[in-house]
Amino acid sequence: MMFRKADFKDMDDRFRANLISSLSGFKSANLVGTQDDAGNTNVAIVSSVFHLGANPALIGMIMRPHTVRRDTFENILSAGEYTINHVNHDIWQKAHQTSARYPETVSEFSEVSLTPQWLDGIKAPFVAESRLKYALALRSCQTLEINGVELVIGEVTHLELDESAVTETGYLDIEALGSVAISGLDSYHVTQRLGRLSYAKPGIEPRLLTF
């Protein structure tokens, strides 16, 4: 079946939000940890995290500070540091619940029973229950003119993960860590590997890689 641009306009807001947010395919499920100047901690689920470059190690993230999640965005700007923690299948429901609009001074950590974890010198909490987590230093923040969302870019400064996930080639087996994927606004998925494929070259069939 076919939808056209004019059809999107006529849709109910919630229907359109569900439909359009499904188009970009599977998304990563992350908990972003921050702290404000007064020491209040905040943790929020974010599905708009993406790879920007490996050297330097840069991660992008889209935020809608003018609608929801203002605390997280303001803490990032103010502290200049934040953490990203993979959501795994043991904490997916708690992770989802962080999206409720709690008052500014209430920590989602205690509300949803997740544990803040600190590393010396970093002004943002990790999520202890996550098995792959990293701290970032804020490198840039810009408002995208086209619709007013914020593009936040950070550089990875510290990476902590289960050693079992690190393969010989540097590939991290995030499936083995139980990291989940999101589709649409509210659907959570575990994964099953089809395979890893060798670097593609013209005229040569890619072969399955072992770890």
Query: Does 48 contact a copy of itself by CB under 8 A?
Result: yes
How far is residue 46's CA from residue 110's CA, in Å, rounded to a whole number? Answer: 18
Hey, what amino acid is at 165? A
Query: Does 38 contact a copy of itself by CB under 8 A?
Result: no
Interface residue with a copy of itself, options 31, 32, 43, 59 (CB under 8 A): 59
Query: Does 51 contact a copy of itself by CB under 8 A?
Result: yes
Q: How many CB atoms lie within 10 A of CB 136?
A: 25
Interface residue with a copy of itself, options 19, 77, 138, 141 (CB under 8 A): 19
Question: What's the burial of 151, exposed, middle or buried (CB within 10 Å: 0-12/13-18/19+)?
Answer: middle
Q: How many CB atoms lie within 10 A of CB 59?
A: 19
Interface residue with a copy of itself, options 38, 39, 195, 210 (CB under 8 A): 195
Query: Does 206 contact a copy of itself by CB under 8 A?
Result: yes
Give me Rg for the CA atoms of the chain: 18
Interface residue with a copy of itself, options 111, 117, 118, 141 (CB under 8 A): 111
Query: Does 105 contact a copy of itself by CB under 8 A?
Result: no
Q: Which of 65, 90, 62, 85 is nearest to 75 (CA)?
A: 65
Least distance in angstroms from the C-beta of 200 to a copy of itself: 4
CB nearer a copy of itself, residue 37 or residue 48: 48
- 34 within 8 A of 80, measured Cβ to Cβ: no
Query: Does 179 contact a copy of itself by CB under 8 A?
Result: yes
For the chain, what's the residue count? 211
How far is residue 183's CA from residue 23's CA, in Å, rounded to a whole number? Answer: 9
Interface residue with a copy of itself, options 101, 110, 113, 115 (CB under 8 A): 101
Convert residues 118-157 into a mask of x (bound to a copy of itself by CB under 8 A) and - (unbound): --------------x-x----xx---xxxx-x-x-x-xxx
